[in-house]
């Protein structure tokens, strides 16, 4: 896998991932693809709150739709062009015999979300890039890589305050009071500024970023090339409708870590997956999963832009 000059490192904080979940990257020149590959039997739902989404198969995630399974989530650069990365993942999964069973063979359920980066004008990720990211996810061993890698390789943030800060790919995890594991993966390419728990801008990687040009909040440049993508995975046994509620809580976490979030010019989207390997969540436990999700998503967004190698 080509990583080039990007700032890539293992996550400095231990990130626990639900059993059977794998993450892989393909990193090109200022763009990339990240694949989140859950185990068989995973159900999922999702919600878009930004005004400019680039998505694939999102209608299928609505609780009233027939299919509940999700075989892969593909995050990519290249805006709508980058959604082609999902084709490579879908074909590779079919070759492995994975997918929704039909009379003519399996149809993998591959959800896609893309951010806008400079590859739109050159060579956005394609099916081959998606396949490469999937193969990286399937490769044995290896630490979870964060920073300027995969779909976060060409991401930026902070334009709202006249900043040109790096974005990236981040991860975080925590267990709720009942022991359910909640893990979040985030690609941050936001119009807004990433903020810490105290509301102040998070310090970004050394050697990058342009200080704010003034105290007034104002869009920088075109302000139309932004999106934050989040995948939440829990080992709780949840229904598709309950996954939608978790995805909604993920958006609450996004709002905690980005100012502003969900603008007309962001395609902010969250997919929530439940592997079901832990005990089923009851009515009260679902809310503890949701409350944990809020904090974990905020932490993953901050992790995406943190100076990991200070």
Model confidence over 101-118: pLDDT tens digits? 999 999 999 999 999 999
Q: Where are the alpha helices (DSSP H) in the chain?
A: 79-82, 85-95, 127-138, 240-257, 283-305
Nearest-10 Cα torsion for 187, 95, 56, 64: -110
pTM over 0.95: no
Q: Are 2 and 11 in contact (CB under 8 A)?
A: no
In the numeric block, which tokens belong to residue 120?
A: 């739109």
The end-to-end CA distance of the chain, in Å, is 25
Q: Strands of 72-76's sheet, edge to edge?
A: 22-27, 32-37, 72-76, 110-114, 55-56
Report which DSSP code applies to 202: P
- Looking at residue 1, what is its pLDDT? 31
- Mean pLDDT of all residues belonging to the chain: 87
pLDDT per residue over 47-93, tens digit each? Answer: 999 888 899 999 999 999 989 899 999 999 999 999 999 999 999 99
Domains, the chain, with CATH or none: 8-305 (3.60.70.12)
> Helix or strand or coil: residue 34?
strand
pLDDT confidence tier of residue 248, bands split at 50, 70 and 90: very high
């Amino acid at each position: 896998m080509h990583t080039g000059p990007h700032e890539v490192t293992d996550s400095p904080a231990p990130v626990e991932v639900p059993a059977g979940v794998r993450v892989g990257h393909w990193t090109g020149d200022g763009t990339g693809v990240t694949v989140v590959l859950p185990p068989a039997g995973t159900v999922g739902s999702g919600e878009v709150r930004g005004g400019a989404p680039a998505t694939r198969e999102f209608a299928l995630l609505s609780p009233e739709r027939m299919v509940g399974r999700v075989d892969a989530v593909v995050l990519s650069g290249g805006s709508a062009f980058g959604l082609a990365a999902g084709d490579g993942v879908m074909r590779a999964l079919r070759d492995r015999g994975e997918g929704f069973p039909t009379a003519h063979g399996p149809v993998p359920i591959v959800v896609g979300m893309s951010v806008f980066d400079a590859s739109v004008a050159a060579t956005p990720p394609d099916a081959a890039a998606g396949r490469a990211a999937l193969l990286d996810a399937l490769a044995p061993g290896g630490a979870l890589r964060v920073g300027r890698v995969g779909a976060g390789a060409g991401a930026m943030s902070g334009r709202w305050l006249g900043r040109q800060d790096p974005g990236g790919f981040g991860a975080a995890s925590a267990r709720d009071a009942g022991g359910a594991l909640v893990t979040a993966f985030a690609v941050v390419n936001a119009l807004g500024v990433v903020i810490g728990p105290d509301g102040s801008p998070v310090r970004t990687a050394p050697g990058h970023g342009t200080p704010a040009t003034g105290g007034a909040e104002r869009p920088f440049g075109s302000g139309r090339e932004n999106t934050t993508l989040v995948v939440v995975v829990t080992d709780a046994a949840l229904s598709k409708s309950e996954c939608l509620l978790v995805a909604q809580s993920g958006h609450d976490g996004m709002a905690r870590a980005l100012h502003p979030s969900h603008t007309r010019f962001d395609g902010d989207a969250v997919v929530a997956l439940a592997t079901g390997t832990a005990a089923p969540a009851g009515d009260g436990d679902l809310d503890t999963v949701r409350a944990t999700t809020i904090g974990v998503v905020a932490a993953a967004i901050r992790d995406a832009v943190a100076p990991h190698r200070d």
